[in-house]
Amino acid sequence: MAGYWIWWVLAGVLVAAELLTGTFYLLVAGVAFAVGGLAAWLGASPAMQMLVAAVVAVVGMFAAHRWRTTRSPITPEIPHDVGQAVQVRGWQPDGTARVMHRGTLWTAVPAEADAPRADTMYIVAIKGTTLVVSDRKP
């Protein structure tokens, strides 16, 4: 099998893997392998084939990353639980509470240290698996 076929088969595998993942990075690698195969087909030495593929891959990765970050900027996601009322089952001596939310007991901490301890509190934030609650709805 000629060297360029190896490059092109690997390019096809990477493009197929790209279809399963949904990122553009494997597509860029697949294109780089295809260009490496083109260099092999044109008679370049193995070192030159790898250099051409590496340059295309690096430039393509930077371009794909830049396109991805400018196209969909990262925005903080607001959890759907914020603003929901929770029923306090009991306040602990350490200031935390056990609250019923979504059918299970959660640990909750008050948003302010001097917040009144009520039977019904409202979720203002989520930190890991701990709910941050307040007596006022956000």
What CATH number corresponds to the domain at position 116? 2.40.50.140
Question: Domain span at residue 110?
Answer: 85-134
String of b and e for 33-42 (b: at least 16 CB within 10 Å)? Answer: bbbbbbbbee
Q: What value does the mean pLDDT take over residues 7-24?
A: 88
Task: Please give the residue that has the higher pLDDT: either 45 or 71.
Answer: 45
> pTM for the whole thing?
0.52
Q: Are residues 8 and 58 in the same domain?
A: yes
Predicted local distance difference test score (pLDDT) of residue 56: 96
User: Residue 138 corresponds to which amino acid?
Assistant: P
Do 63 and 96 lie in one domain? The reply is no
Total domains present in the chain: 2
Measured in degrees and rounded to the nearest 5, phi and psi for residue 97 equal -135, 155
Same domain, 56 and 104: no
How many other β-carbons are positioned within 10 Å of the β-carbon of residue 31? 20
Report the percentage of the chain scoring pLDDT > 90.
30
Q: What is the mean pLDDT of residues 81-97?
A: 84
Task: Give domain status of residue 101, yes or no.
Answer: yes
